[in-house]
Structure 1
Amino acid sequence: MLGTMLGGFSAPVYAQATPFDTSASPVTESEATTTAASALPVIRAIDVEGSQRIEPDTVRSYIDLRPGSTYTRAQLDESLRDLFETELFRDVEIRIDPADNAHLTIVVQENPVINRILLEGNRRLEDDDIRQEIRLAPRQIFTRSRVRADVARIIELYRRRGRFAAIIEPQMVELDQNRVDIVFEISEGPASRVQAINVIGNEVFSDGQLRSEMATKQSRFFRFFSSSDTFDPDRLAFDQQRLRQFYLTEGYADFRVISAVAELTPDRRDFIITYLVEEGERYRFGDLELDSDLRDFDEAQFSNYIPMQTGDWYNAQQIEDTIDRLNETAGLLGYAFAEARPDFRINREDRTMAVTFRIEQAPRVYVERIDISGNTLTQDKVIRREFRLREGDAFNSFSLRRSQSRIQSLGFFQEDFEIDQTPGSAPDRIILTANVEESATGELQLSAGFSSLERFIINFSVRQRNFLGRGQELRAGINYSSYSNSIELGFTEPYLFDRNIAVGVDVFRRDFDSFNFIGNERNTTYQQVSTGFQIRAGVPLTEYWTLALRYGLNNEDVSLDQNTFFINGQCSPLLAGRFLCDAIGQRLISSVGYSLVYNTLDNSFRPSRGRRVILSQDFAGLFGDVTYLRSRIDADQYFNVGSGFIFSLSAEAGYVHSFENRGLAGVDDVRLTDRFFLGEPQIRGFDIRGVGPRVQRFSYQPGTNTLITDQQFVVDDAIGGRAYYLGRAELEIPLGAGARELGFRPSIFVDAGAVFGVTNPTLQTFPCIDSTGATVGQTPCTGDSVPGPIVIPLLDNAGNALFIAADGTLTTDPTDGMGNANTAANRTIAPFLERFVGDSPMPRVTIGAGVSWNSPFGPFRIDLAYALLSEEGDEEKLFSFNIGTQF
């Protein structure tokens, strides 16, 4: 296969000279005119040679020469140009028979047919993205001009992606039957970064201040996650507007950008951007007035609508805010088409800017019709019932925005959903149109992963949030990990019998394995199996307040491994701890509860502004084995701080009160499984259940009073608390378009919280023995005494003492039948020291950064958090990640 460069070669094109006799004697001008016409050759025949796909008659039709007509050298040259302009031929030659100048032969070499278009070297752009730009295609006629045009298109495509160093080399591979393959060899080069941004003419504000207002940033090593430092011509124009907007908000009404130049560095890799600006004078606000033709608009209250006063520095943003407030107020009064317009009067002598806001007369508007389009699955009523306006109602801009937020919060449609407003059949009529674009609402997830919290995870779930297009939710899920197993079924009807009453039911079985750590080894302590159901109902009280009611019945079974924690058929506090022995058993829990919800979030799935407050209480004890009152409050506030940054504040707290009085020393009335626990993932920077009250066991060096403090040998059991609080401040950081498409969402955060308020548990003690073996007290030992082991005789099911026979079997016979005593069967427990720590309301504070990613394997979250404040016994953890499930 022969490759030929397409960019630099040219075809040898020429015309055979006509054999005119130039050696004759000169003639006069009149004679030349007379004889020239008679001396011109007359074409007798025109033949075509070399054509394969194109008919000879077609070739002849492209020129003006015809048999029977005369021709000149200029006409031959014109015919050559006409043939080349068809772009059907790579080479053309017109030959004249030396013996017969009336016989012309057109010799052509046809341009080849394109067989394939190949792309090589492109990694940053997909083949499909490039093929959409180029015009060449298989089975077309190859021409150099088309190749050059496509090269220019590909280069422009790379420039739009910030790669100005891209080089495109077209190659032609010749095949048989006059066919060719066109290969575009692409050298993408590095992304063209912005090496420096210079501003000339600024005196009031520094270059750094102005650069901070621009979307384009200078290339720095820490911007590896961002594309803001790549050169983009559109962003250059946008930055000029940002500069002007900044100066206008600072009072410089005459500011202008004289020029903005982007220059490539000598190596053609990066850009240097230079702005030439003229700041002008700074202005203050002059007289501020309102001129309204709307009768319902109270001009006396105008000062309540404006954030500025006469004498303040001029601020264009405040002008826009005032216009928005005036328009919003007009919309609340029903004037949908009323529009406030500012009238500026500038006084350059005293440098003031007077503004009059004019609102012309407009009719009060009523909703003529509400149209819904684009919904192929979702029923109209599912959308209509979220409208806060009805046909015939007076228009209200607040109700319109609220309708838009409620429809978007359904999660059934595109994120940028808006309700269009168009004039109706009369000036006082308006048509509202919800143009929805349905998104997928069914979720089928089968994932496996590894989590620092749950180790190996398998998750399978099926969920349909818009079942049969009725807005109902149906879900089923199975989750397996070394930490917990569960199977759950649920159904929710948001509008029962088309009334604004939500009902739902959940059925579940959850197996939970609690554990403690000995060093880095995790050991299962108790198993908790919960089987039950819950019935839910929700009723809106106002637009933002909702009351949710629920009833649940749950059978709970808590057990311990008998081989590990039991002696003589009973749970041994020496092996398990009094708090674990007290927790085991089977209980029926019947509870009724409510939640009072206040919600103004703009989007329930990914909010950017608004507030949500939830007050919940659950009472257990209608019947069953447990009685308590659990109270919780949870509040979230979201702020859109601009430029894609979202700041959120979250706070929650809870308390559980038991109505039981078990009357046992060292035993809390609130059972272990009903308490609050805190740690990963609620408060990052600590391990799972790593915060709050806990019992630690330290072993002794054998035969000494010295404790083994190495964490690898310390048993650590979290026992929870009656009360807790948790707060969080988090800033979500925007990334470039590419990272957003991949689902990356980084953030920085501060977490603070504590769990506390449990009765001090009874701790285990061991006898202290002196050098003679006599007991002289209980641990902790003093003086020369050391802790000694505890020996517990083993009993059979009837309570009889067990002995070890000579053959190693257990027997209740103290002798072997021949007068020899059998050895008593005992369980010896080595001494240890128990310590109760962590029961403190003092806040634990962590600071860190994390990133969420909607990976192909499921939601992924990675956090790096450092504990600034902690208490004795807390389990800190710097790094954590979770994949394959959400918590």
Structure 2
Amino acid sequence: AAPLAMAQFEDAGAPAAAESRPAPQAKVRSIEIEGASQAVEQEIRALLRTHAGAPYDLRDIQDDLEMITTRPGVERARWRTDSTPNGVRVIFEVVETGAAGEPPEAPAPTPEAKEAVPAGEIVRSVEVQGTKRTEVDVIELVIRTHVGDRLDREKLSEDVKRIFKTGFYEQVEVETEREGEGWRVIFEVRERKLIAKVNIDGPSDSDKDEIRGLLTLKPNTFLNPFQVEKNLQSIRKFYANKGYFAAKVKANVADLEDQRAEVTLDIDEGDELKIERIRFTGNRAFDDDELRGELQSSEDWFFGWITGAGEYKDDFLKADVFLLTSFYLNHGYFKVHVEPAEVTADSTGLYLTYKVTEGEQYYVESVDVAGLEDDPLLERIKGGLRLKAGDLFTRDALQQDIENITTFYSDVGYARISIDPDFNIDEESRRIAFTYKIVKGPKVYFDRIKITGNTKTRDKVIRRELYVQEQKLYSGSDLKRTKERLDALGYFSEVNINTTPVEGQPDRERVTVDVREGETGTLSGGAGFSSTDSFLFNVRVTNRNLFGRGQTASLSADIGRVRQDFFLRFTEPWLFDIPLSAGVEGFRTLRAFQDFDRESRGGSLTLSYPIWDRYRVRLGGSWRTEIVSIQNVDNNATFFIRSQEGTTLTNSFTTTLSQNTLNHPLDPTRGHSGRVSVELAGTVFGGDTDFIKVIADSRWFFPVVYGTTLSLHGRFSWAKGLQGDRLPIFERFFLGGIDSVRGYEVNSIGPEIDNDVIGGDKELLFNVEYIFPVIPQANLKGLVFLDAGNAFSEDENIDLTQLRMSVGFGFRWISPLGPLQLAIGFPIERRENEKSSAVQFSVGAPL
């Protein structure tokens, strides 16, 4: 025998063909035929032996390929496969006779034309040895050495590489030996082990699920060391993106019987590294501190574990480049370039370095509008542009112009308006001439409106909230307000509104309102402890979308040492299918004050109607009947308190003007909620007391940066006894507690007589909160606050210098189990015997 030098290739240098080549045990997922006409394809499919769901068999595929090539009208064909998690896609590529495509292969030479091969150089036989799971056909299909060919040792070397590239074999050798007057070629292979199981040890269950989604190592595929290393790199990248740069990942392979293997990925994530320092290079116009303030990434600090500062996130780094670029563009640096952060690490933490190429500042030379020459509103459009000649260029002004023009025309039907901001730069003067090239397109009307995804909420509940109407002129603002209104309902976890052109009708757009139902019902129970109530227990049953009708029903009970509350409420927002909101309430409450207890029982009926729907302004009226008992009065209480002992009936009518533009009822980040109410109670209504009460309450939410929110709240209240009556103590104003001035005892702030708080006839309250995400995925937010307020007696004027103040921090969680709130306040200039405020929590579960 005359053996050829054995060809054996290392994994590191070989392509990872096993990732696309399926193991023979796989199932056929689908069969596709490319390049064939419909008639030819139908004929081929009728004769195929390979079919979806059948085992992946190379012999069947080879037979099918021969069948295809013999069909009339088929010039040639070939096949390929694509491995997927659900099976193997088999694709037959067909070139029909006379079809354009790849140039046909050269025809095999006829015996007469074929070059004569000396008998001693002819390949007499080709053998394959060592196959167990794979078929010999796998090799015969890829090699180019065949019986009758001249023995070509270079071709044999290429054949070895081709066999190896299938990914099924870890070793391939070829030998040649004399056979008569020719050669016998022997390919000897050793198959790779088949993966029986893939284990992941070390991470949490949630991380395991994410990691499995990244893996290409699957059971019943061949074990390829190159593919294993590629998977390890993917896992390292996964942990690096979470800040675990020291994560250790290794693969342990345990041999099993029958040439199988069990792969265990052993993962030690190590400690999470925080961002220790953020640096910049190339910045001349702005210092590092100013640029750091523009980033979404931030350096770690003492309270970073609360605020999330210092966390490394790949998405943050991508956003940082955009934010830095935008910052420079808004300061005239038209050609600024910011490179992605260079990340280095040591034992103390991570270090980010951003390389900035600032360039020069550019000014606006001129601003023109093209495409609206015959539009009577052209001058109005030009007059409203924010980008003006002579100004320093800012990206915000450019984008605002595009947004304003788009909004203006889309609100009058031009749904397909396009605006292209063209510019010419004069490098010598560093000035830019801008031209907004506008194509309005045709006027468009709304076609059908389709509601999808509402598995619980009735169609009419959604449709009655829509600003858009079928056959109405297209309006981008109406679409936007519709989404805001549906979001504000709080019924849905997600609202998407899409418009699509109607085929054959260029002036029509079909509207699809797609919603995802959220949790609107809660059954919650909780317990808390505070210096005021000691132990406080509560239970609540609420449904804000009862039976999918948009109605709200709730039952709640709070039981503590100083207060007991029982409420039953029902609200119909669209009474008689008009936007007339009707609500009914029954209640019983008990409050323990320093020198007396107040018990009240009663109910109310409320009606309200939108008078300025665009801004969500409503006018309402309510009737309240309440029986109040002042009892358990301390013998040492002041005369005024003792004079209030007994039972009083109050009948009153209240008129309320309210507005609510909050973007979410439970977790708002933008909008306003306010009301002004005037309540009149008197014997004329059948009650025992005469008084008037005015309350003005306003709360604003402003989005700031990076998901943070600024909340401002103010309340002014005033009341006065009528018909010579003094304002009853149960209608007076008391402050202090988690709902007013945190850091103080409940109802401990107000006018005093002999150290007894008797409440005021007017109050003033301010709350400032800065709210920030702590764990966004869990909807957990933190906040810092400043509270100020006081109540004043009849003989006092409101004095801002007498406001009681506190600062503090807290947490809010609108969780699937119900709302949770925690506040820790610190009174400013605390007086003797004053205590800190209550710490309370509640938790529940969705119905």
What's the TM-score, normalizing by structure 1?
A: 0.72
**Distance in 2 separating the partners of 1:289 and 1:170:** 63
Aligned with 2:766 (options 722, 727, 731): 727
Alignment of 1:454-603 (within 5 A): 454-510=533-589, 512-516=590-594, 525-543=595-613, 544-560=616-632, 573-574=635-636, 576-603=637-664
Aligned with 1:607 (options 668, 680, 691): 668
Runs (5+) with no aligned partner, structure 2? 1-9, 15-115
Q: Secondary structure at the match of 1:642?
A: coil
- Report the CA distance between 1:409 and its aligned residue: 0.9
Alignment of 1:61-210 (within 5 A): 85-88=165-168, 111-123=192-204, 126-176=207-257, 178-210=259-291
What's 1:409 paired with? Answer: 488
Kindly provide the amino acid, as one letter, of the partner of residue 741 in structure 1.
Q
Asked if residue 264 in structure 1 is aligned to residue 222 in structure 2, the reply is no
- Report the CA distance between 1:174 and its aligned residue: 3.3
- Do the aligned residues in 2 keep the contact of 1:693 with 1:839 (CA within 8 Å)? no
- Report the CA distance between 1:83 and its aligned residue: 6.1
**Distance in 2 separating the partners of 1:62 and 1:357:** 59
What's 1:653 paired with? Answer: 716
Q: Secondary structure at the match of 2:529?
A: strand
**Distance in 1 separating the partners of 2:524 and 2:440:** 57
- Report the CA distance between 1:646 and its aligned residue: 1.8
- Do the aligned residues in 2 keep the contact of 1:537 with 1:549 (CA within 8 Å)? yes
Residues 1:295 and 1:89: Cα distance change in structure 2 (over 3 Å): closer
Runs (5+) with no aligned partner, structure 1? 1-5, 11-33, 517-524, 561-570, 663-668, 697-715, 761-837
**Distance in 2 separating the partners of 1:435 and 1:600:** 22
Kindly provide the amino acid, as one letter, of the partner of residue 329 in structure 2.
L
- Report the CA distance between 1:679 and its aligned residue: 0.3
- Do the aligned residues in 1 keep the contact of 2:123 with 2:148 (CA within 8 Å)? no
**Distance in 1 separating the partners of 2:757 and 2:494:** 43
- Do the aligned residues in 2 keep the contact of 1:48 with 1:59 (CA within 8 Å)? no
Q: Deviations over 1:108-140 (max 9, x none)?
A: 765444343222222496211111111223344
What's 1:683 paired with? Answer: 741
Asked if residue 636 in structure 1 is aligned to residue 699 in structure 2, the reply is yes
**Distance in 1 separating the partners of 2:458 and 2:578:** 15
Alignment of 1:765-784 (within 5 A): none
**Distance in 2 separating the partners of 1:137 and 1:250:** 52
- Do the aligned residues in 1 keep the contact of 2:387 with 2:401 (CA within 8 Å)? no
**Distance in 2 separating the partners of 1:232 and 1:656:** 54
Aligned with 2:415 (options 309, 319, 336): 336
Q: Secondary structure at the match of 1:180?
A: strand
Greater mean deviation of Cα atoms: 392-401 or 93-102: 93-102
- Do the aligned residues in 2 keep the contact of 1:515 with 1:717 (CA within 8 Å)? no
Report how many aligned residue pairs link the two structures.
Answer: 728
What's 1:670 paired with? Answer: 727
**Distance in 2 separating the partners of 1:637 and 1:690:** 27
- Do the aligned residues in 1 keep the contact of 2:626 with 2:650 (CA within 8 Å)? yes
Residues 1:277 and 1:190: Cα distance change in structure 2 (over 3 Å): farther
**Distance in 2 separating the partners of 1:493 and 1:730:** 32
Kindly provide the amino acid, as one letter, of the partner of residue 671 in structure 1.
P
**Distance in 1 separating the partners of 2:177 and 2:325:** 74
**Distance in 2 separating the partners of 1:327 and 1:842:** 51
- Report the CA distance between 1:678 and its aligned residue: 0.3
What's 2:403 paired with? Answer: 324
Q: Secondary structure at the match of 1:436?
A: strand
Residues 1:55 and 1:492: Cα distance change in structure 2 (over 3 Å): same
**Distance in 2 separating the partners of 1:354 and 1:73:** 69
Greater mean deviation of Cα atoms: 643-652 or 390-399: 390-399
Residues 1:7 and 1:156: Cα distance change in structure 2 (over 3 Å): farther
- Report the CA distance between 1:450 and its aligned residue: 3.3
Asked if residue 875 in structure 1 is aligned to residue 820 in structure 2, the reply is no
- Report the CA distance between 1:167 and its aligned residue: 2.4
Residues 1:296 and 1:613: Cα distance change in structure 2 (over 3 Å): farther
What's 2:527 paired with? Answer: 448
- Do the aligned residues in 2 keep the contact of 1:676 with 1:721 (CA within 8 Å)? yes
Aligned with 1:852 (options 800, 812, 831): 812
- Do the aligned residues in 2 keep the contact of 1:443 with 1:463 (CA within 8 Å)? yes
- Do the aligned residues in 1 keep the contact of 2:529 with 2:838 (CA within 8 Å)? no
Q: Secondary structure at the match of 1:733?
A: strand
Q: Secondary structure at the match of 1:183?
A: strand
**Distance in 2 separating the partners of 1:848 and 1:529:** 32
**Distance in 2 separating the partners of 1:722 and 1:145:** 80
Kindly provide the amino acid, as one letter, of the partner of residue 719 in structure 2.
V
Asked if residue 238 in structure 1 is aligned to residue 319 in structure 2, the reply is yes
What's 2:102 paired with? Answer: none
Kindly provide the amino acid, as one letter, of the partner of residue 249 in structure 2.
I
Q: Deviations over 1:841-887 (max 9, x none)?
A: 821222333222346765333334333356x678352x65321179x
Aligned with 1:620 (options 672, 681, 695): 681
Residues 1:354 and 1:180: Cα distance change in structure 2 (over 3 Å): closer
Q: Deviations over 1:152-186 (max 9, x none)?
A: 22223223323333221100233455543321111
Kindly provide the amino acid, as one letter, of the partner of residue 765 in structure 2.
L
Greater mean deviation of Cα atoms: 636-645 or 261-270: 261-270
**Distance in 2 separating the partners of 1:338 and 1:612:** 35
Kindly provide the amino acid, as one letter, of the partner of residue 729 in structure 2.
L
Asked if residue 224 in structure 1 is aligned to residue 305 in structure 2, the reply is yes
**Distance in 2 separating the partners of 1:113 and 1:232:** 37
**Distance in 1 separating the partners of 2:165 and 2:503:** 56
Aligned with 2:292 (options 189, 194, 211): 211
Greater mean deviation of Cα atoms: 847-856 or 76-85: 76-85
Kindly provide the amino acid, as one letter, of the partner of residue 487 in structure 1.
F
- Do the aligned residues in 2 keep the contact of 1:651 with 1:726 (CA within 8 Å)? yes
Q: Secondary structure at the match of 1:217?
A: coil
**Distance in 2 separating the partners of 1:7 and 1:484:** 75
What's 2:53 paired with? Answer: none
**Distance in 2 separating the partners of 1:323 and 1:73:** 68
**Distance in 2 separating the partners of 1:840 and 1:229:** 40
User: Over the residues paired in the alignment, what is the CA RMSD in angstroms?
Assistant: 4.1
- Do the aligned residues in 2 keep the contact of 1:290 with 1:356 (CA within 8 Å)? yes
What's 2:88 paired with? Answer: none
- Report the CA distance between 1:355 and its aligned residue: 3.1
- Do the aligned residues in 2 keep the contact of 1:42 with 1:71 (CA within 8 Å)? no
Kindly provide the amino acid, as one letter, of the partner of residue 884 in structure 1.
S
Kindly provide the amino acid, as one letter, of the partner of residue 845 in structure 1.
M
**Distance in 2 separating the partners of 1:329 and 1:58:** 65
**Distance in 1 separating the partners of 2:473 and 2:137:** 75
- Report the CA distance between 1:41 and its aligned residue: 10
- Do the aligned residues in 2 keep the contact of 1:638 with 1:649 (CA within 8 Å)? yes
- Do the aligned residues in 1 keep the contact of 2:217 with 2:228 (CA within 8 Å)? yes
Residues 1:287 and 1:500: Cα distance change in structure 2 (over 3 Å): same
Give me the identity figure in percent.
Answer: 26
Q: Deviations over 1:295-327 (max 9, x none)?
A: 665344456523454333222211222222222
Q: Secondary structure at the match of 1:414?
A: strand
- Do the aligned residues in 2 keep the contact of 1:202 with 1:279 (CA within 8 Å)? no
Kindly provide the amino acid, as one letter, of the partner of residue 849 in structure 1.
F
Residues 1:404 and 1:189: Cα distance change in structure 2 (over 3 Å): same
Greater mean deviation of Cα atoms: 195-204 or 52-61: 52-61
Residues 1:88 and 1:488: Cα distance change in structure 2 (over 3 Å): same
- Do the aligned residues in 2 keep the contact of 1:451 with 1:883 (CA within 8 Å)? no
Residues 1:863 and 1:605: Cα distance change in structure 2 (over 3 Å): closer
Kindly provide the amino acid, as one letter, of the partner of residue 628 in structure 1.
F
Q: Secondary structure at the match of 1:613?
A: strand
What's 2:4 paired with? Answer: none
